[in-house]
Structure 1
């Protein structure tokens, strides 16, 4: 089996870069990157600047892409948005499942139907396991049911990159699915508990301890609309599903030494990144506050929020970087430069280092604010490289 890859919602290529840093044998045969409501597709253009384009469909709305036009591949990867995955029964005269228009999970599902990818590795925010707030766990339950219908088993794990040696405290849900008729699927015959804690894809890549009781539930995956309307479940940070039987528990990482932000900083940073005379404004944004406000209907209330570190400690891994990093926002990193002892923002190169990209990866002509934006959307590249090594073993064994 060749190491051919389809990369969806590719951004500036975090999955591809992580795979290729593991081995040159990985061959990306197609990718898709399209940012809605933007005239200029900066992330797509950055991706193409590094690897070139593949065909006319890589930079358009994926819902417009004929799924059979996508080349065959053995690994499908992608970091997709956390959205409302509720589904309804088909209208009379129609067929198939339909979620809300624009929800990208259904594009993934349609590609899996058309291409029957043997292996799938997806990334999402950690709240996926608990959304929506009104019906906790429904969205992830719908995803698992869809995969069960298509003959996949699934492992998942919430991984904080800093707990496994990276330079950012970034928690993300990773999902590994594989066809039951693969060698890997046939040979993995351990109990769900062993797979989650010892022998599975994530357990052997990101070691854990497991001391909590396992919870189990069986999905009625033959009736996904019915499941969507009633399903609730408390998914934990690790789990396994086969033939609709879901096992989950909370695991504790066997932590490794993380990279402190100090080790990722540039030297001799130019003056434009310093706060200057805006110190008081940033103190207010970062500090605790209680503010009297009035809602649109005239209701008076007190808005309150706690303080956050100001400046950020450079002796710890960076906080989670968001797409708002370049804006005046309390989540923006402010550090004390170790050379000048003055407060400043992180630079675009430092943002790239925090995510594990090469220096100036995004310096491909896009405005500086978008360099921060695409890094806020990216994943931590070393986490992918680590998973890629296990994937190589699995695919070589096929």
Structure 2
């Protein structure tokens, strides 16, 4: 049995994927979900409805003492994408301090303070993590990788678009797996003559999501200096060029990174595979004829003059057209947090039904596009359920990586 702590749990996407992969191996012993912008805490409410309130924390993780978090074998979480820079060194404790409110440093704090740190770390973030911030591309990811390496972890990563592997949504995210120095996976990677073999063939992610690429094109470099130095100096001379490619591994402070191409020859799911029959859709999801002009304008191409309401500055605004309605024979576009509600929007999904009417997607359909069980978020309002899915990950990716991890560590 592997004890798991789930941070930034949302409505439990990591947990669903882990349990689908190997319910006998992965056991969530503690979870935390807290949203600072609301008193109601609807995501935490859904989490407890599905998994129970025992060992679930609904408070600011920064206020949870490390000793109150149970010892665990694996820490998982989809943490928010923020500025991860280091504010100062805490000399008296030998630790580091990130910018206030940046949740990466809560992960770091738990890993650093646990007497028996978790052997595995499994994280998810947006794909732009590898290129942020814009003025110093790659710095934030370099800070994360260096801090994990300094804590004794080897780390591999991959940017994965779920649709490239047959899943029903085009959603690109960065997935990060770390192996502590007391694991055999750490020893396997350390023993390789060419770490690019792990990235392309032998690694957990490579086996779960095959890719191709040339080992000759691997880029290698050291992340040097203290975390404060990285904050100030990493890639400062070449801010427009991101040093991290879409796949890689860091061993010690040495980075091996490569641009890989997905390899998949299985079946593909589409938006049309996930929609409900017309009779199952509430009437308020259909777009009234009198609002079609608004939808067509927002979805259409624009080339017009606009005026800034703050300073009166006049400027030219150009925008390309979107496919409208959304095609049913392809994976869906990425779900956004503003998917809910009836108001016209450029980014909400709209499909044409068999009888020719246009409608928005229901919460259940959005769940299916993220590969959650049907009605996983039932118990919240429809707008909240759409927001949850805009924040969620594609469960199928977690399941496949976890299934491969289970196979390799059992």
- The verdict on a shared fold, with TM-score over 0.5 as the criterion, is yes
Check 1:93–1:15 CA distance in 2 against 1; reply closer, same or farther (3 A cut): closer
CA apart distance, 1:88: 2.8
State the alpha-carbon separation in 1 of the partners of residues 97 and 313 from structure 2. 39
Do the aligned partners of 1:197 and 1:208 also contact (CA within 8 Å) in 2? Answer: yes
State the alpha-carbon separation in 1 of the partners of residues 209 and 345 from structure 2. 33
CA apart distance, 1:236: 0.6
Check 1:330–1:89 CA distance in 2 against 1; reply closer, same or farther (3 A cut): same
State the alpha-carbon separation in 1 of the partners of residues 247 and 271 from structure 2. 28
TM-score (norm 2): 0.92
- Secondary structure in structure 2 of the residue aligned to 1:226: helix
Which residue number in structure 2 is paired with residue 391 of structure 1? 405
User: Does residue 336 of structure 1 match 2:365?
Assistant: no
State the alpha-carbon separation in 1 of the partners of residues 185 and 74 from structure 2. 13
Which residue number in structure 1 is paired with residue 28 of structure 2? 28
Do the aligned partners of 1:168 and 1:320 also contact (CA within 8 Å) in 2? Answer: yes
Check 1:275–1:88 CA distance in 2 against 1; reply closer, same or farther (3 A cut): same
Q: Deviations over 1:36-71 (max 9, x none)?
A: 11011111010100111134x611111011111111
State the alpha-carbon separation in 2 of the partners of residues 394 and 54 from structure 1. 30
Check 1:91–1:123 CA distance in 2 against 1; reply closer, same or farther (3 A cut): closer
Gaps of 5+ in 1: none
Which residue number in structure 1 is paired with residue 107 of structure 2? 108
State the alpha-carbon separation in 2 of the partners of residues 242 and 90 from structure 1. 24
CA apart distance, 1:303: 1.9
Which residue number in structure 1 is paired with residue 220 of structure 2? 216
User: Does residue 278 of structure 1 match 2:277?
Assistant: no
CA apart distance, 1:395: 2.8
User: Does residue 170 of structure 1 match 2:171?
Assistant: yes
State the alpha-carbon separation in 2 of the partners of residues 376 and 98 from structure 1. 30
Which residue number in structure 2 is paired with residue 54 of structure 1? 54
Do the aligned partners of 2:337 and 2:387 also contact (CA within 8 Å) in 1? Answer: yes
Gaps of 5+ in 2: 236-241
Root mean square deviation of aligned Cα:
1.5
CA apart distance, 1:342: 0.7
4+ runs deviating over 6 angstroms: 91-94
CA apart distance, 1:367: 1.2
Check 1:175–1:283 CA distance in 2 against 1; reply closer, same or farther (3 A cut): same
Which residue number in structure 2 is paired with residue 239 of structure 1? 248
Do the aligned partners of 1:62 and 1:107 also contact (CA within 8 Å) in 2? Answer: yes
Which residue number in structure 2 is paired with residue 254 of structure 1? 263
In the TM superposition, 1:1-398 aligns within 5 A as: 2-25=1-24, 26-55=26-55, 58-90=57-89, 96-115=95-114, 116-188=117-189, 189-190=191-192, 191-211=194-214, 213-220=217-224, 223-232=226-235, 233-255=242-264, 256-267=266-277, 268=279, 269-276=281-288, 277-295=290-308, 296-327=310-341, 328-338=344-354, 340-364=355-379, 366-396=380-410
State the alpha-carbon separation in 1 of the partners of residues 92 and 270 from structure 2. 59
Do the aligned partners of 1:163 and 1:257 also contact (CA within 8 Å) in 2? Answer: no
Q: Deviations over 1:268-301 (max 9, x none)?
A: 2222101112111011111111232234344321
State the alpha-carbon separation in 1 of the partners of residues 107 and 318 from structure 2. 40
CA apart distance, 1:92: 7.5
CA apart distance, 1:24: 1.9
